Amino acid sequence: MPAGKPETARSREIIIVAIATADAETIAVAARALEAGRLVAFPTETVYGLGGDATQGRAVAAIFAAKGRPRFNPLIVHVADPAAAERIAVLGPLARRLAGAFWPGPLTLVLERRADSMLSDLVTAGLETVAVRVPAHPIAQALLAACGRPLAAPSANRSGHVSATQAAHVAADLGDAVEMILDGGPTAFGLESTVIDARGDKVVLLRPGAVTAEEIEVVLGAAILRAGDAGDRPQSPGQLASHYAPRAAVRLDVTEVRPGEALLAFGPDVPATDGAVVNLSPSGDLHEAAANLFASLRSLDATGAPTIAVMPIPEHGLGEAINDRLKRAATDRP
């Protein structure tokens, strides 16, 4: 038998058993694994998260190792409800208002970390702030309830790669680095949560995401600041220039497709091409486009085309977050 064969067979087997349909029984098993300091991937309404107990340094270190993520990039801490958020972070009046409007849901608040939070210092990369989110997905909620502790959960992909919106994507990226993948089907939004700094009396958008800037502005009754406008406000350490990247090169704002390129289309008027085409939304709907974005990048990447050409996407609403991800996918990698 060739030397490599048993290894391949074994890793296939592990990937198959690691994916479990989420139900009361598998969620209870997952909660026990988390309590023991092991890692479980689970669906949220945005993307799949790679979860570990945020109070156990060993579990948090395992998350960084599984993703190949630099340790200066802090993780989002997921909790069941605003009361649990108050136990790890300080919510001022503005943060409470946003939490009231958007939690549970895809908004992450960067807040002052409480001294008695019990969180591992690794979660926050040594910062005095912590990013907190209350997910709306029923499986994420059930898991948080079953384990009764805050869960650190970055997107369940290799660092720098496209985020995982299906259980199979998690398995492809992280394989046997996770104890278990709770399968809840494809995620609804398909884009990560919006991250805002909500410590002061003004909020700063650190990462555009599933809640639009316009929706936040309606609640605030004021314009939201962008990280660049905010003077000495810290940027989000995770907003690296190259991120969310497929293997193929990415070319943006394309109106004419070049020979050999695969096309990521948007809307009804698609340029002619002999190559592979995936349309994010034939009707030009930004919600549909966001939900399809990462799976479409993965499937065009799998065609082996050296370049993915991307049609222009409008910049309003969810378009801001879609274009943010596409720009990072198009940036030259180190």
Nearest approach in angstroms of CB 210 to ligand TXA is 7
- Residues 128, 217, 226, 297, CA torsion sign: positive
**CB 111, min distance to ligand TXA, A:** 8
Write each residue from 189 to 208 as x if it is in contact with ligand TXA (CB under 6 A), else as -, in one continuous string.
Answer: ---xx-x----------xx-
In angstroms, the Cα distances linking 293 to 4, 45, 164, 257, 279 are: 35, 15, 11, 19, 9
As measured in angstroms, the least distance from the Cβ of 72 to Mg ion is 14
Residue 86 makes CB contacts below 8 A (sequence gap 6+) with none
Q: Compute the least distance from the CB of residue 192 to Mg ion, in Å.
A: 6
Partner whose footprint covers residue 31, from ligand TXA, Mg ion, none (CB < 5 to 8 Å by kind): none
CA dist., res. 102 & res. 104, Å (int): 6
* Buried/exposed 219-254: b ≥16 CB within 10 Å, e otherwise: beeeebbebeebeeeeebebeeeebbbbebbbebeb
According to the binding rule CB under 6 A, does residue 76 interact with ligand TXA?
yes
- 117 interacts with ligand TXA by CB under 6 A: no
SS (H, E, C) 104-132: CCCEEEEEEECCCCCCCCCCCCCCCEEEE
Query: How far apart are CB 153 and Mg ion at their closest, in Å?
Result: 10
Rg, the chain, Cα only: 20
Kindly tell me which of 131 and 203 has the beta carbon lying closer to ligand TXA.
131
DSSP 235: P
Contact region with ligand TXA (CB under 6 A), list: 4-12, 149-157, 172-180, 244-252? 149-157
**Should residue 75 be labelled a site residue for ligand TXA when binding is judged by CB under 6 A?**
yes
Q: Please, where are the H alpha helices in 42-174?
A: 57-67, 82-88, 93-102, 138-147, 167-174
Give me the 285-324 binding string for ligand TXA, x by CB under 6 A, dash otherwise. ----------------------------------------
Identity of the residue, 27 or 66, whose beta carbon is nearer to Mg ion in the bound complex: 66
**Among Mg ion, ligand TXA, none, what does residue 170 contact (CB within 5–8 Å per kind)?**
none
Which of 20, 73, 267, 270 is close enough to bind ligand TXA by CB under 6 A? 73
Considering only residues 238 to 257 of the shown chain, the ones binding ligand TXA according to CB under 6 A are 238-239
Q: Any contact of residue 265 with ligand TXA (CB under 6 A)?
A: no
74 binds ligand TXA (CB under 6 A): yes
Q: If DSSP codes are grouped into helix, strand and coil, which group holds residue 38?
A: coil
- Name the token pair of 118: 């019990």
Distance of CA 147 to the CA centre of its chain: 21
CA distances 114 to 47, 203, 211, 275, 286, Å, are 27, 20, 26, 54, 38
Q: Does 131 bind ligand TXA (CB under 6 A)?
A: yes
Chain residues in the site for ligand TXA (CB under 6 A):
44, 46-47, 49, 73-76, 106, 108, 110, 124, 127, 129-131, 133, 153-155, 192-193, 195, 206-207, 236-239
